[in-house]
Amino acid sequence: MAAISLQNVTKKWGEVTVIKNLSFTVEEGSFLVLLGPSGCGKSTTLRMIAGLEIADGGTIRIMDRDVTHEPPAQRGISMVFQSYALFPHLNVEENILFGLNVRKVAREEKQQRLGEVAKMVGLSALLARKPAQLSGGQRQRVALARAIISRNSICLMDEPLSNLDAKLRHEMRIEIRALQKRLGVTVVYVTHDQAEAMSMADRVILMRDGDIDQIGAPDDLYETPATVFAASFIGTPPMNLLKTVSTTEGTAIAGAEDHPLLVDTGKDFIIGLRPEHISLSASRGVPAILGASDYLGADTILTARIQNQDVLVRVAGHAKVRTGEQVQLNWENENMCVFDAASGRRVEDFRLSRAAA
Amino acid sequence: MTWSIRTAFVGLAVAGALVLAPFSGAMAVELTMYYPVAVGGPLTKTVDGLVADFQKENPDIKVNAIYAGNYNDARIKALAALKSGQPAQLSVMFSIDIYELIEQDAIVAFDDIVTTDEDRAWLDKFFPSLMENGRTANKTWGIPFQRSTIVMYYNKDAFRDAGLDPNQPPATWDELVTMGQKLTKKQGNNVERWGVMIPSTGYPYWMFGALTMQNDQVLMNGDGNKTNFDAPATVEALSYWLDLGQKHSVMPSGTIEWGTLRQNFLEQKTAMMWHSTGNLTAVKKNAKFDFGVAMLPAKKRRGTPTGGGNFYIFKDSTDEEKQAALKLIKFLTQPERTAEWSIKTGYIGTRPDAYETPALLSYVKEFPPAAVARDQLEFATAELSTYQTGRVRKLLDDAIQAALTGSKSPKDALSGAQSEADRLLRSYR
Amino acid sequence: MSRQFSRDLGRGLEVAAAWLLALLWISPLLYAFWSAFHPAEYATHFELGAPLTLENFETAWSQAPFARYFLNTVLLVTLVLIAQFVLCTLAAFAFARFEFWGRNFAFALVLVQLMIMPEVLIVENYTTMSHLGLVDTILSIGLPYMASAFGIFLLRQTFKTIPKELDDAARVEGCSMMQILLKVYVPLARPTYLAYGLVSVSYHWNNFLWPLIITNSVTTRPLTVGLAIFGAPESGVDWSIITAATLLAVAPLLVAFLLFQRQFVQSFMHAGIK
Amino acid sequence: MRRVRSITPHVYGWLLLTPAAILLIAFTHYPTVATLVQSVFSKGTAIRPSAFVGLNNYRLLLEDTVFWKVLWNNVLFGIGTIPTSIALAILMAVWVNGKLPARALTRLAFFTPTILPMVAVANIWLFFYTPEIGLLDQIGRVFGFASHNWLGDPDTVLWCIVVMTVWKEAGFFMIFYLAALQSLPPELEEAGRLEGASRWYYFRRVAFPLLMPTTLFVSINAVINSFKLVDQLFILTKGGPDNASSLLLYYIYEVAFSFLDVPYAATLTMVLLSALAIIAVGQFVFMDKRIHYR
């Protein structure tokens, strides 16, 4: 059963439509990430699911119930805010128990649930503190605990880790994912950080300008990006996107006309190649000139130039190369993505030119 | 930037000049006169006109009139000016401020300034009742000028409506009650029109002075150091006032607002009101019904206190200035000027011969209510005035209001006020 | 459905209550408009067909020197405002940026005025003014208010939030102390000046007790005192003319507030008066 | 310059402070002390000069029934105005901070009394309260109530003054609450809504506690105002009937400027100053708290 489903949901701010006919479903117990750059409408979508914004059109269903016009509290969800939204005058315990107090849950049950949850998120020793006396990570845990204690089966998270430093963010990623699995809750998680999306999600919805760009498991998005946008958004560094030109022999990367890759169809394409899928060779391949190299420890990112297009290449270890060196770039054709330059969409039925094949 | 700074400086300089308003100019004799006028309207124009006439006749005397607000303000301002060494030679102030002014050693007696027999005769030209507040310790300290008294305004239409003779207003306390009862019009619980209203805020002691006088009792002695608040006749007068509301129901209970009473009368919410003669012009202008003006009714006798302002001359001025001030006061109180003043302002003509001037004769003929106040002067008495007059007056005001609002009995309220007043005045005996 | 309905009903009632309160709050002003624009006989009667008139304004204007009162008030307000800005800026700068001997003690002495406002000390201040020979001058109305503890406190708070780096940067550029104050602190504190200025102007435009005591002539009396004397119940209340005079007196402030309402509220928020 | 560096801030500090300090001393500190001195002397006239009388004025004060009445009135006035105007201010702020139709207009209506001079509007309120012809009575008549002498009845007069004062003050305090409300993060309210907190619950448990610093600031202002606001008395009641609506500062004014008894006025002022001093101590305690809280 779908835990959440949106059908043709629309949202306008005045005259501007910020969410256009959005439809998707979230499987029960799954971890869905709404990913996209800022302003793409992912937070608005989340807030409409929460009921903090009211959709101007379409239907939102939670556990098969139409909640489009229900107030937030009736939707059976909990939420973790980017700013944590902790009440500064209440201590940790009071903050966690806020919702249970509103619902007048019996005292023993409250204490029992509090104990459980506090232990789960590691706050047992801090219950009497005020938010101002907590570190960023601890505040994050309070916000999580407040979401968990309600025992709602759906939890919405709006960029919950963006205020933490890199190391903590990494730890919390793992922790949140583990908690979600353990509790079996459905999570809808908003982020602009693709690494977060890739590492946590069961499914990712990549959004762009109020619309869905691509839905899929993280590896689908990584391996078969549906659009140029998806390709450029995911991966560090992202996929190389190279312009093509038509030659008599076929379609080739601009600046590498001698190495036609595709059968010419008269259209312009964009060739997508992940840096780690490219290898350097001294003898055969697309010729390029090496530029800067960026040593990252486990590997090195090399910048190669094909005429005036940069191509990033990931090589293992500390590559010892010289700037200005002439190299040839190689890759497996199965790792090559082809996009229609006009629409930006992925092309599946391209034909490899003979030379490339 | 520089430009704006310069403009700011110029602005500051101009403001400074205006703010500090320097005094300037010197003539042969320059008089500063404080005058208690609240409204800068017709009255100031009248005074200004009279002063201008005087200056035309006496080019060597220049008069600066300072309109200082109400009586209380005028007194404070004038005293403060004297204290801080600013010039002030004469002033119109509340007639009852006399003891305060004497105690402050601020004024001179006219007897000490007048030189000629003619001047001495002039002192006796005024209505005796108007002189009462200006005389103490056998000397004359104040010359009546802006004077008023209490009269009864009544709605003749209402009298006709109640089946009463519109030309026979109540002449006694009992008639006031019986007529009042007829005039009081009720609809269910609601009173549509009251019989009579006597204001009890603002100047309750003044209205009360009328009631006690009618019961043949004055409120204080002529030396200003003893009050008669707990005299049986005084208590009786207050009981009567209270009964008008509580027992006879011809007047609303509680206090009645001085300021809004005229409006109540004009809106015919009361058939009669006791009020200052100062309201005559306004009532005449705004009444949409036939109204009359009558003397206040009598118990043992008729009676009303006088009210308003007298001329005083300040001690701290040169002989020359004192003579000039005297000249001005004499000029302003000539019969013709008094008549003109009375017609223009509605205040009483302060001397009998003013009423024999052609102007006032024809005015009274044309508008008989103007004569009522004059005729009543025969029965008038001084307004409450003692040493520590502000305090003593407030004691009586509070006692009257306490009784009228039912928080104390008239007797308790008045004897309380009396013992307090005794405490204050003991040292002046 | 019924839950929705009761929510809507509750909301509707709330809006109605808010509007009713707003109506109550504005009603004195509405009455002033009614009474001022109708002949005197309608001052206490409300009839739709009552004729309109401007006569009350003419009468009020001619009966008292309102033009002069206006001038006095404007002079007073300007004088006080300029003096407050200058004095409070200097003092606040001292408290915010200098470590000087006795600073805390001096600041405590300043704060005393937050509690003991000039209104409380009318008796002694009157004596002082008469010693100084300043009774009945516009200067004397403003003098006790010029060194305003509230202004010093507010500006000090604002100055303290200005990063020290800006100060240092200006010093590196060769600015003198006064230049730093005028070019860094004062411009950055603009919202505070605006909010404080508005509070000060409306306070002194409406101040009554002290000006009543200290002034006694037309050339110094501000509008409030002129109005109070004009409308004093002693001489009998004529609401048509009094309300006309009232409207004349409040019009500038009212219009200014209507025009700058948004800025007013916002400057309050920026100034951190909360 | 460099050499005397250590002395510079002291000189600068005091120089900058001097103009304000002179005025503060002249019109706040000196008169405070002078009031104390004045209060142990007797009233002086030209004939009887003022003399040292020790605590005599204070003894008179204790016996002065008007003083006790006025003091009690002031307490009632405070009780009547402070909580009501604050509660209304909060209510108004919450309303105009939310999604109210015609919000700007409503806000304007609430705030207008603040910019109207008290003495000017007092005359309008006089019309409301006047018996028979006044607005209250006119409305009352429609509903069949008998006329009431609002200002002439000692039981109602003070409350009439209270109502008018609340009307005057609430809109001013509203601005402070509005500013405070707008500085609260909106997520807090959203978090509350998600948990199903009603608006009242949210207000009571979250917004109101968070507005506490504002409330304390405003209440201190309100307390001071309850001693300071007497303008309306000059027009409406002059403290009557029988001092039923008189307040301490008005009584001081009367004693000083109507009875011309400056020493006794000074004695009364000392009472007012002590009351304010007690509040001041309270404020310092509160300020400490506020710093810890934020």
Q: Which domains does chain C have, with CATH numbers?
A: 64-270 (1.10.3720.10)
In a domain, D238, yes or no: yes
Q: How far apart are CA C238 and CA B42, in angstroms?
A: 16
**Per-residue pLDDT, C162:** 87
Would you call A81 an interface residue with chain D, using a CB distance cutoff of 8 Å? Answer: yes
Q: How far apart are CA B224 and CA C28, in angstroms?
A: 45
Would you call C232 an interface residue with chain D, using a CB distance cutoff of 8 Å? Answer: yes
In a domain, D180, yes or no: yes
**Inter-chain CB proximity A73 and D194 less than 8 Å:** yes
- A124 vs B189 pLDDT, higher one: A124
Contact call for A and B: 3+ CB–CB distances under 8 Å: no
**Per-residue pLDDT, B215:** 94
Report the range of poorest mean pLDDT among B73-82, C146-155, D105-114: B73-82
Q: Are D184 and D210 in contact (CB under 8 A)?
A: yes
Residues B243 and B362 in one domain: no
Residues B363 and B394 in one domain: no
Residues B321 and B205 in one domain: no
D153-158 average pLDDT score: 90
Contact call for D and A: 3+ CB–CB distances under 8 Å: yes
pLDDT tens profile D38-95: 899 888 777 778 888 888 889 989 988 899 999 999 999 999 999 999 999 999 999 9
Contact call for C and B: 3+ CB–CB distances under 8 Å: yes
Locate tokens 């232990």: which residue? Answer: A119
In a domain, B329, yes or no: yes
Name the residue facing D257 among C213, C242, C257 (closest C-beta): C213
pLDDT of residue D140 exceeding 50: yes
Name the residue facing B269 among D48, D133, D151 (closest C-beta): D133
Q: How far apart are CA D177 and CA D86, in angstroms?
A: 9
Q: How far apart are CA D277 and CA D267, in angstroms?
A: 15
Residues B272 and B319 in one domain: no
Mean residue pLDDT of chain C comes to 86
pLDDT of residue B1 exceeding 50: no
Q: Which residues pair with B154 in a beta bridge?
A: B272, B292
Q: pLDDT under 70 in chain A at which residues?
A: 354-357
Give the CATH number for residue B404: 3.40.190.10
Buried b (16+ CB within 10 A) or exposed e, B405-427: beebebbebbbbbbebbeebbee
Percentage of chain D lying above the pLDDT 90 cut: 35
Residues B212 and B359 in one domain: no
Cis before B369 (ω within 30): no
Buried b (16+ CB within 10 A) or exposed e, D122-140: bbbbbbbbbbbbbbbbbee
In a domain, B372, yes or no: no
Q: Are A241 and A308 in contact (CB under 8 A)?
A: no
C246-273 average pLDDT score: 77
A-proximal residues of D, 203-242, CB under 8 Å: 205-206, 209-210, 212
In a domain, B250, yes or no: yes
pLDDT of residue B397 exceeding 90: yes
Q: Which two tokens stand for residue B209?
A: 């002075």
pLDDT-derived band at B158 (thresholds 50, 70, 90) equals very high
B174-202 average pLDDT score: 90
Domains, chain A, in order of start with CATH, read 2-226 (3.40.50.300), 237-340 (2.40.50.140)
- D185 vs B43 pLDDT, higher one: D185
Residue type, position B85, single letter = G
Residues B39 and B90 in one domain: yes
Question: Where does B132-277 have alpha helices with state H?
Answer: 156-161, 173-183, 204-214, 232-246, 258-266
Quick one: B93 exposed, middle or buried, by C-beta within 10 A (0-12, 13-18, 19+)? buried
pLDDT-derived band at D134 (thresholds 50, 70, 90) equals confident
Q: Which two tokens stand for residue C173?
A: 């550029």
Q: Which two tokens stand for residue B210?
A: 């009328």
Mean residue pLDDT of chain D comes to 86
Residues B108 and B199 in one domain: no
Q: Are strands A279-281 and A269-273 parallel, antiparallel or unpaired?
A: unpaired
Would you call B38 an interface residue with chain C, using a CB distance cutoff of 8 Å? Answer: yes
Residues B248 and B319 in one domain: no
- Who's near A329: CB < 8 A, 6+ residues apart? A278, A279, A280, A281, A285, A286, A287, A288, A304, A306, A311, A313
Total tally of structural domains belonging to chain D: 1
**Per-residue pLDDT, B40:** 45
Quick one: C16 exposed, middle or buried, by C-beta within 10 A (0-12, 13-18, 19+)? exposed
Name the residue facing D117 among C91, C116, C208 (closest C-beta): C208
Residues B239 and B337 in one domain: no
**Inter-chain CB proximity B84 and C130 less than 8 Å:** yes
**Per-residue pLDDT, B157:** 94
Q: How far apart are CA D202 and CA D199, in angstroms?
A: 5
In a domain, B339, yes or no: yes
In a domain, B378, yes or no: no
Percentage of chain B lying above the pLDDT 90 cut: 51
Q: Residue B242 belongs to what domain range?
A: 149-306+383-428
In a domain, D185, yes or no: yes
Of residues B35, B22, B105, B101, the one with CA closest to residue B63: B35
**Per-residue pLDDT, C2:** 64
Q: Residue D240 belongs to what domain range?
A: 57-288
**Per-residue pLDDT, B228:** 94
Q: Are B162 and B271 in contact (CB under 8 A)?
A: yes
Q: With both helix axes pointing from N to C terminus, report the angle between C2-36 and C239-270 in degrees, rounded to the nearest 10.
A: 130
C-proximal residues of D, 123-142, CB under 8 Å: 123-128, 133-135, 138
Would you call B383 an interface residue with chain D, using a CB distance cutoff of 8 Å? Answer: no
Probe site for chain C from D6, D14, D119, D199 (most C CB atoms < 10 A): D119
In a domain, B270, yes or no: yes
Total tally of structural domains belonging to chain B: 2
Can you give the pTM of this predicted structure? 0.85
- Who's near B405: CB < 8 A, 6+ residues apart? B253, B254, B255, D152, D153, D154, D241, D242, D244
Q: Which two tokens stand for residue C183?
A: 């070019």
**Per-residue pLDDT, B216:** 93
Last residue of a domain, one of B340, B367, B394: B367
D123-144 average pLDDT score: 86
- B86 vs B247 pLDDT, higher one: B247
In a domain, D30, yes or no: no
**Inter-chain CB proximity D153 and B105 less than 8 Å:** no
Give the CATH number for residue D245: 1.10.3720.10
Locate tokens 């110029």: which residue? Answer: B10
- Who's near D198: CB < 8 A, 6+ residues apart? none
Would you call C39 an interface residue with chain B, using a CB distance cutoff of 8 Å? Answer: no
Q: Which two tokens stand for residue C199?
A: 């509070």
**Per-residue pLDDT, A28:** 92
Shortest Cα distance, chain D CAs vs residue A78, angstroms: 7
Buried b (16+ CB within 10 A) or exposed e, D157-183: bbebbbbbbbbbbbbbbbbbbbbbbee
Would you call B20 an interface residue with chain C, using a CB distance cutoff of 8 Å? Answer: yes
pLDDT tens profile B43-95: 778 888 899 999 999 989 999 888 777 787 788 778 877 776 777 899 999 99
In a domain, D67, yes or no: yes
Probe site for chain D from B72, B99, B184, B201 (most D CB atoms < 10 A): B201
Quick one: B311 exposed, middle or buried, by C-beta within 10 A (0-12, 13-18, 19+)? buried
In a domain, B375, yes or no: no
C140-156 average pLDDT score: 92
pLDDT tens profile D198-246: 888 888 888 888 888 888 888 888 888 899 889 999 888 888 788 999 9
**Per-residue pLDDT, A70:** 86
In a domain, B410, yes or no: yes
Q: Which residues pair with B90 in a beta bridge?
A: B33, B313
Residues B245 and B334 in one domain: no
In a domain, D50, yes or no: no
pLDDT of residue D253 exceeding 80: yes
**Per-residue pLDDT, C233:** 62
**Per-residue pLDDT, A356:** 62
Nearest CA in chain C to D134: C44
pLDDT-derived band at B21 (thresholds 50, 70, 90) equals very low
3-state SS track over A38-69: CCCCHHHHHHHHHCCCCCCEEEEEECCEECCC
- Indicate the SS3 state at residue B60: coil
Residues B166 and B287 in one domain: yes
**Per-residue pLDDT, D119:** 85
Q: At A206, which helix (H) or strand (E)?
A: strand A203-208
Residues B293 and B403 in one domain: yes
ipTM value for the complex? 0.82
Question: Where does chain A have alpha helices with state H?
Answer: 42-50, 92-96, 98-102, 107-121, 136-149, 166-183, 194-200, 218-223, 228-233
